Amino acid sequence: MREFYPLLVIGAAVSVFAAAFIFAYAFMKDKKEAIGFDRNMKDTEITKRLLRYAKPHWKSFLAVFFIMLFSIAYDIVSPLIISRIADLLKGSFEMKQLFVMIGVYVGILIVSLTCQYFQAIILQKTGQRIISALRYDTFEHIETLSHQQFAEIPVGKLVTRVTNDTNAVSMMFTNIFVNLAKNTLVIIGVLSAMFFLNLQLTLMVLCFAPFIIIFTVIFRKFSRKAYRKVKDGTTNINTFLSENLSGMKIIRIFDRKKEKKAEFDEKNNELGKAKRRQIFVFGIFRPTIYMLYISSILALLYLAGRGYIKGLSFAGQIITADVLVAFYIYIQKFFNPIQTLAEQFNWLQSAFASAEKIFTILDIKPEIVNEPDAVDIGEIKGEIEFDHVWFAYKEDHWILKDVSFKAEAGQTVALVGPTGAGKTTILSLLCRNYDIQKGRILIDGVDIRRYTVSSLRRQFGQMLQTVFLFSGTIKSNIVLRDDSLTDEEVWEACKYVNADKFISQLDDGLEHEVREFGNNFSAGQRQLISFARTVLYKPKIMILDEATANIDTETEQLIQDSLERIMNIGTMLIVAHRLSTIQHSDNIIVLADGQIAEQGTHEELLEKRGRYYNLYTLQHRRQQLMG
């Protein structure tokens, strides 16, 4: 065993040096790397959750496993065939024997390559199905989050989770898991063949195995940390781009290009540092494994060559030329999977870091959920009642304080008051975009929390000050991908709200292209499309939040005419700063500091000479000065 002492010293020196170097770099360079993540999952937890997505496709993976067994035959058998050919060439041989061995070698190679082809095809198809399911679940879960949660999570972060991170995870199913299994089987097969050829030379190779395992464990720890930093940096850049590209108009108006570029450079540099650290960690691991490989080759040449030249035997086995050749090839095939495992381990850490980010989003519990005994709302009349409602976005910062009012079915109720009084909040609470802390909100005398969220929201038609239009056509933005609605129904809705007047002037009418955010339409045109979208679904309760703000006079007249028609559809709640648009409301509620200051009809409130009277007088004087 004395011959093994130098090998142990070489392997230990290489591993200790590399381990000490990466430890020093990881901890002395930046000690903050060990903390700072909101949630770090264990690899076992991530693996279990990912395998749930793979479980429905177990037949495909089983087929790949059997194909894999045939594909690795080349790695196991080819060294034996080459050593046999070398043995034949050493002595007298017949050409027929040589051709047979070469034919066997070529046949095994063709079988292996064919198996690898079918293995890749099956894995790619299966992997894409799995990732499609994961991506769908992530997007579906994001749709369940509340308005408050959307306000807290940057859009760019969510986009990164659904796109970049799911793509990184796809590598796990299409490449990493199967190749990890394949390389493991190759290592086991190679070791078995080596044990069969020569026990003591095999034990010599295994002297390096403990150092490989130790260094792999160290690499796993720090590569995971490095990949988390890369994922965080990528998310930060995507979030920055999502926000600033959308707000590029403001950036140019205020000439903040230099400041935004500096901000981008900072985030870009942080990502660059994370990438360099990731490359550094990986750059230490693979050369170290290669050094161990070279050391084992030198050890083989020393021990086996010495034994072959002197005719010595190890454990009763004489070293022959064909054994030496076979072992040289087997050592290469033993370390090749390990070096490949390093690269795959690199990808594995990336996939695990991405999966960790995705599952963090999936683990966010929606704030607005159905009660256990919730039922579909069914047909309603449209009677609304706020019964001593208290609400705060943040604890103890009350936006609404003991608000109570009632709107009979078919009535039009207007909400007025200064900015921050709680007008828009009332509309959001009615749709359960947020849940109240105290009191009750009733529709037809039933607490809205008794209804399922989806069935409740289907009863509302909302027209907001800022209209969001999706890329597509006018028709697709009105029907919102509901293929059951016909062109006739869509056109009737457009006529009802006066949107037909500008749509009919377009060459392609309802099929006219809508660009991102509807930027190729005026604010008034976008609003009329929103009106058509709302009335098409015939809601029982209409909500208008500053729907006539920021539009030209001509379009406002069209919208006013549309409003008079819409009021006949059902109960209507209107938030408006222009008091001229709400004078015919059945009830006007004046809010101040989260409370109802006064309410009544237009004439009744003017007679009271209170807050509403002051607002109306001020607007009337302003109109006279402007007109």
194, 201 in Cβ contact below 8 A? yes
Mean pLDDT of 387-404: 90
Phi-psi region of 398 (alpha: psi -120 to 50; beta: other; left: phi over 0): beta
The pTM assigned to this predicted structure is 0.68
Q: What domain count does the chain have?
A: 1
Residue 55 lies in a domain: yes
Q: Is the pLDDT of residue 387 over 50?
A: yes
The more confidently predicted of residues 600 and 577 is 600
Q: Which of 56-65, 345-354, 504-513 has the lowest mean pLDDT?
A: 345-354
Q: Is the pLDDT of residue 533 over 90?
A: no
CA distance 437 to 434: 10
Edge-to-edge strands of the sheet including 460-464?
A: 460-464, 541-545, 571-575, 412-416, 587-592, 595-600
Q: Is the pLDDT of residue 388 over 90?
A: yes
Q: What angle do CA 615, 619, 625 make, to 5 degrees?
A: 150
Q: Which residue has the tokens 């793509």?
A: 167
CA distance 434 to 420: 17
Query: What pLDDT is recorded for position 292?
Result: 78
Mean pLDDT of 67-74: 79
- Percent of all residues in the chain with a pLDDT value above 70, rounded to a whole number: 84
* Per-residue pLDDT reduced to its tens digit, 463-490: 877 788 888 899 998 988 788 888 888 9
- Percent of all residues in the chain with a pLDDT value above 90, rounded to a whole number: 12
Residue 548 lies in a domain: no
The more confidently predicted of residues 324 and 612 is 612
Residue 324 lies in a domain: yes
Q: Which of 99-113, 119-133, 368-382, 422-436 has the lowest mean pLDDT?
A: 99-113
The more confidently predicted of residues 9 and 494 is 494
Question: Which domain covers residue 356, as residue numbers?
Answer: 2-362
Q: Is the pLDDT of residue 296 over 60?
A: yes
Residue 376 lies in a domain: no
Q: Is the pLDDT of residue 23 over 50?
A: no
Mean pLDDT of 582-604: 91
Q: Give Cα 528 to chain centroid, integer Å.
A: 34
Residue 47 lies in a domain: yes
Q: Is the pLDDT of residue 550 over 60?
A: no
Q: Give Cα 614 to chain centroid, integer Å.
A: 51
Residue 495 lies in a domain: no
Residue 301 lies in a domain: yes
On the CB side of 14, CA atoms within 13 Å amount to 24
CA distance 460 to 397: 28
The more confidently predicted of residues 347 and 58 is 58
Q: What angle do CA 220, 225, 228 make, to 5 degrees?
A: 125
CA distance 121 to 205: 35
The domain that holds 297 is classified in CATH as: 1.20.1560.10
